A and B are shown apart, each in its own frame.
Chain A
Amino acid sequence: MSMPDVEEAAVKVLGGAADMRDAARITAEQGWHLLGVPEPEGAGGTLADLTGVVRAVSAAGLSSPLPELHAPVVLSVRGQLIAPWGPAWENVNLAGEPYDIGDAPSSGAVLTRWRILHAARLVGGCQGAAARTAAYAATRVQFGRPIARFQAVSALVAEAHAQAVLAAAGLEAALADPEDDLVAVAALATASRAGTAVARVAHQVHGAIGVTQEMGLERLTRRLWAWRDLPGEAELEPLLGLLGEERAWDLGAGDE
């Protein structure tokens, strides 16, 4: 099975989940989260392979605790300690995904890994929403032509696409240096901002039908709005502002 086949299979299996609990059960059972963990405990492969699965699942508007099974974390978010997909199922976020209130915030390698995987989650959501936006603009007809033929609309399509591309590039930089927490922070901050921008543009292009359950766009945008705040860019970007020129310039240069 090649990686694209694994991604396709994951989307198919998780697409059949009855609810969030079922999605969590399926994810644990399948063991995709062991990608990027060396054998014999894990499945081998690379962290990049795992981000590919996370992206594909998210792009399909699906939820899965893949990042949390791979790297369980407690996050500091606006003064609260959040354990996404924590075991107690105490609360749910805007997208219906569970979280607990944790006691001690994570740090070190596990947090770095989670940030990269969570960035992949946002990248997938951005790619899915941007693709839907492009497809809708190309087919929805008003004033006798597809709305994409209006330059004001095509600029929105371009913006959504560009933001998804940028977030994906940020993720690739983080994967080039997966031990460097700061490039993971950068990737997550960029992906969070892209999530905001893509969701806004996607709804604008879709018009009123975009908010309906029938259209299905909200499966992506509700997730983007939930995911972008774990934590939001306002808590991440200050970590990058006082690095000095050399350190900032060398972020993500690990594969060179």
Chain B
Amino acid sequence: MTFRAERRGTFRAERRGTFRAERRGAFRAEVRDQIAKWRRDGVFEPRSDSWLTGYDEDFSRRLGARGWIGLTWRGRGFADRFVLTEELLRAGAPVAAHWIADRQIGPAIARLGSAALKQALLPGIEAGDVRFCLGMSEPDAGSDLASVRTRAVRTDGGWLLDGQKVWSSHAHRATHAYVLARTSTGEHKHRGLTEFVLDMSAPGVTARQIPDMRGPGHFCEVFFDGAFVPDSAVLGSVGDGWGQVTGQLAFERGGPERVLSTYPLLALTLAAAGPADAGRVGELVARLTALRRLGKQVAARMDAGEAPIGAAATLKMLGNRFEVDVIEVARSVPGVPRAAIDDAVLAAPGFSLRGGTTEVLGVVIAREAMGAVG
């Protein structure tokens, strides 16, 4: 029997998910309208890399007041956050102040935090008042994150932190820090790590800015000298920090900011492009369409409870390449404002470093590719 004979009458058009999708389209429209209004009212100026360098606490509170921080743990999910953050990045809105808390530490607290920690921090994060920095990298632990040496030693009712973190963006004005520290030694380096939530105002915590090639910048180093963290501020299980942090990396790497850091420059390029530029600009448009769909797939997998580490790494590797290629095309299109190009140029070296270097991502992706073929 041929396929034709066998299949006739058995297929049905797929309507699955249509209702949810329509609601999401309405949400995108709502976000667009609000952002356009803020733009008209002069609330912000668009710029590239706004999720790292666009630091504006008032803007974060505005988003908080709209209920747009913490969507992932407030019953809306990653697919809705994907829509929201895509539109914010598209507009080049200053979202850096709440970005880390909204993207990864809030979700980690919601998933692994104690009841006390959730109660103490989630409402503040949602309002845009509680701002997180990341304490992962150290002077001798960059790509080799498991080599962290910052130690946490047991004390009455909690832990005492000693050590140093580096490349912690905006730490000097963050209210809290996520800290990956060693709670036991002598075993395999991937064991004995624990995740902590630290109040930056605790005694023994010092943050110092590291000026970068653009000026004061966002980078900081953070020193811990017997800084106290209560037991209630341990994330998840003591000693299980490695497994938890690698899961968190999917959230850190798998978002639209790994594709859209230079989108405001692309928008200017699209506006300025003429027939002579159509091919190169069109290549970017085609690639962006696929990359954004990939981001949507990653968000859907997160909503399904997965930590899609390989897919997130793939998105970030390809997305970072795109972000830089946008600059290269913009440079060649007459009429794209010089200041917008320069702003993106100075941000670009960080694209393929932060959140995992391209080289490290390559290893993660290759491992997934080989795992898939057995």
Q: Which residues of A contact B (CB under 8 A)?
A: 1, 6, 9-10, 29-32, 34-35, 39-40, 43-46, 48-49, 130-131, 133-135, 137-138, 148, 151, 154-155, 157-162, 165-167, 169-170, 172-173, 176, 183, 185-187, 189-190, 193, 233-234, 236-245, 248-249, 251-253, 255-256
B interface majority secondary structure: helix
Question: How distant is the Cα of A69 from the Cα of B280 in the complex, in angstroms?
Answer: 33
Q: Which residues of B contact A (CB under 8 A)?
A: 2-4, 6-14, 17, 21, 24-25, 28, 83, 90, 267, 270-271, 273-275, 277-283, 285-294, 297, 311, 314, 317-318, 359, 361-370, 372-374
Inter-subunit contact A1/B2 (CB<8 Å): no
- Please pick, from B11, B285, B311, the residue contacting A186 in the complex, using a CB distance under 8 A: B285
Inter-subunit contact B290/A190 (CB<8 Å): yes
Residue of A nearest to B83 (CB): A256
- Please name all residues of chain A whose beta carbon is closer than 8 Å to the beta carbon of B3 when the two chains form the complex: 6, 9-10, 30-32, 43
Report the minimal beta-carbon distance from B361 to chain A, rounded to whole angstroms.
7
- Please name all residues of chain B whose beta carbon is closer than 8 Å to the beta carbon of A29 when the two chains form the complex: 2, 4
Report the minimal beta-carbon distance from B207 to chain A, rounded to whole angstroms.
35
- Please name all residues of chain B whose beta carbon is closer than 8 Å to the beta carbon of A161 when the two chains form the complex: 314, 365-366, 368-369, 372
Residue of B nearest to A183 (CB): B289
Give 10 nearest A-B pairs by CB, closest first. A31-B4, A241-B278, A44-B11, A170-B290, A45-B11, A241-B282, A240-B282, A237-B282, A161-B369, A158-B365
The total of interchain contacts (Cβ-Cβ below 8 angstroms) comes to 201
Residue of A nearest to B280 (CB): A241
Report the minimal beta-carbon distance from A194 to chain B, rounded to whole angstroms.
9
Inter-subunit contact A244/B271 (CB<8 Å): yes
Inter-subunit contact A167/B2 (CB<8 Å): no
- Please name all residues of chain A whose beta carbon is closer than 8 Å to the beta carbon of B273 when the two chains form the complex: 241-242
Question: How distant is the Cα of A10 from the Cα of B6 in the complex, in angstroms?
Answer: 13
Inter-subunit contact A256/B366 (CB<8 Å): no
- Please name all residues of chain A whose beta carbon is closer than 8 Å to the beta carbon of B17 when the two chains form the complex: 255
Inter-subunit contact B286/A186 (CB<8 Å): yes
Task: Decide: A158 near B362, CB < 8 A? Known: A1-B6, A170-B289, A256-B28.
Answer: yes
- Please pick, from B9, B318, B369, the residue contacting A166 in the complex, using a CB distance under 8 A: B318
